[in-house]
Amino acid sequence: MNDTGEFKPKRIIVTGGAGFIGSNFVHYVVDNHPDVHVTVLDALTYAGNKENLAGIPEDRMTFVHGDICDAELVDKLASDTDAIVHYAAESHNDNSIANPEPFLRTNVEGTYRLLEAARKYGVRYHHISTDEVYGDLALDDPARFTEETPYRPSSPYSSTKAASDMLVRAWHRTFGVKATISNCSNNYGPYQHIEKFIPRQITNILCGIRPKLYGDGLNVRDWIHTDDHSRAVWVILTKGRIGETYLIGADGEKNNIDVLRSILERMGKSADDFDWVRDRPGHDRRYAIDSTKLRRELGWTPIHTDFAAGLDATIEWYANNRTWWEGVKAATEAKYAAQGQ
Ligand code: NAD
Ligand code: TDX
């Protein structure tokens, strides 16, 4: 802490720093906070890729290939840091329906290991979570999620994220861990795994495969650019009140069919060039975030407010970085095909 009450970490651990959102945060810190050293702890699962961290100078980052469930390793790393920013997770709903087990292990047990280490060494802990812990809203409901909305997760993925949030609250209250939590809406941008909605459809079109839309296509997601998420996490880590939860969202509600038609149009396809496929079991209808607390208390505001421009840049990135995703495209689509999706 400095005399303004701001937390000024010199060394931080970023778990899941080789994934989509974690790597964006690592780049954000390296680019904007030259006095901070980052240690990435990442197991390099199917979703982790060291190439996401390319270009970071060696003296700014240490990469540790390891598992957040490895108590000894986590203890050793936590003994020499100011903060842990916890992104690592099994993150895909469809995978959690096919096989929930890794979700229980990484999302629940992994969080427990990190909290125990944060407790032992008095380390500041920030927990990355999701709006999905609140369940879903009806399409015609004017309400949005706030920090006061009761937890009502629907999927194995979101229930393990909800469980991990509860552990954080308990470790803060009972053991005094200096923790904050953020629950963010759907992220988009470069480096997102092609199993996820937007990059799946973009890379399908680039490969001559028809995009796939679940159910009736009317489910609403509240989109935020991952750069805006990273800036919000830094503000919460350094200025957020200990023990508090902050919702992160950019007023980006859109239904899936509109997003898909926008991608099709931008990529020169006709509006009906896609397949309707089997719906996701338990598919949440609508997510919507009210981020007033974060904006009022900490002064954060999103920069990427033009979704169409963000989508254009994302399409361009996947078109220009085929080597980043081509090697996993066939296996990703084979998995979906086996599920009728
Ligand atoms: P991702 O799947 O792209 O990346 C996850 C990363 O965690 C990978 O690098 C993977 O190797 C690593 N990892 C997985 N298991 C691990 C383990 N046991 N030990 C160490 N590392 C492990 O995920 P993402 O989309 O970048 O999401 C990151 C975080 O943000 C997650 O906690 C997720 O719940 C949360 N979140 C995501 C979104 C979204 O839209 N993607 C929205 C809100 C919150
Ligand atoms: O091929 C598809 N067709 C389709 O219609 C895929 C992959 C998805 N969908 C639909 C399902 C959802 O309504 O698109 C929407 C978005 O799907 P995902 O990209 O799988 O995201 P979602 O399930 O909303 O969860 C995401 O946001 C919250 C992240 O994956 C989570 O990690 C985060 O917590």
Any atom of ligand 2 within 6 Å of the Cβ of 93: yes
User: Which among 13, 28, 45, 73 is the best mutation to test ligand 1's pocket, defined by most ligand atoms within 8 Å of the CB?
Assistant: 45
Contact indicator for 192, 308 with CB cutoff of 8 Å = no
Contact indicator for 239, 7 with CB cutoff of 8 Å = yes
Split at pLDDT 50, 70, 90, the class of 45 is very high
The atom of ligand 2 lying closest to the CA of 130 is: 34
Interval between CA 91 and ligand 1 midpoint (Å) = 5
Any atom of ligand 2 within 6 Å of the Cβ of 229: no
Any atom of ligand 2 within 6 Å of the Cβ of 221: yes
pLDDT at 3: 55
Q: Which residue has the tokens 């100078």?
A: 57
pLDDT at 44: 98
> Which ligand number lies closest to the CA of residue 70?
1
Q: Which residue has the tokens 């954080």?
A: 168
Any atom of ligand 2 within 6 Å of the Cβ of 212: yes
- Mean pLDDT across the stretch 199-209? 98
3-state secondary structure at position 154: coil
**Count of C-beta atoms within a 10 Å radius of residue 170:** 13
Give Cβ neighbours of residue 245 (< 8 Å, ≥ 6 apart).
Answer: 147, 165, 180, 181, 182, 183
The atom of ligand 1 lying closest to the CA of 48 is: 9
> Which ligand number lies closest to the CA of residue 92?
2
* Predicted confidence (pLDDT) at residue 114 exceeds the cutoff of 90: yes
How high does pLDDT run on average in the chain? 98
Contact indicator for 83, 33 with CB cutoff of 8 Å = no
Residue closest via CA to ligand 1's atom 37 equals 130
* Predicted confidence (pLDDT) at residue 248 exceeds the cutoff of 90: yes
Residue closest via CA to ligand 2's atom 7 equals 197
- Mean pLDDT across the stretch 187-199? 98
For 129-184, the pLDDT digits (tens) are 999 999 999 999 999 999 999 999 999 999 999 999 999 999 999 999 999 999 99
Classify 11-193+223-253+286-305 by CATH class.
alpha beta
Interval between CA 187 and ligand 2 midpoint (Å) = 10
| Best CA proximity match to 322, nearest among 142, 159, 199, 179 | 199
* Predicted confidence (pLDDT) at residue 2 exceeds the cutoff of 90: no
- Mean pLDDT across the stretch 60-77? 98
Split at pLDDT 50, 70, 90, the class of 5 is confident
Interval between CA 323 and ligand 1 midpoint (Å) = 21
* Predicted confidence (pLDDT) at residue 113 exceeds the cutoff of 60: yes
Q: Which residue has the tokens 């992160």?
A: 248
Any atom of ligand 2 within 6 Å of the Cβ of 182: no
> Which ligand number lies closest to the CA of residue 16?
1
* Predicted confidence (pLDDT) at residue 29 exceeds the cutoff of 60: yes
Q: Where are the domains of the chain?
A: 11-193+223-253+286-305
By annotation, the residues acting in catalysis are 131-132, 157
Any atom of ligand 1 within 6 Å of the Cβ of 179: no
* Predicted confidence (pLDDT) at residue 337 exceeds the cutoff of 90: yes
Interval between CA 197 and ligand 2 midpoint (Å) = 5
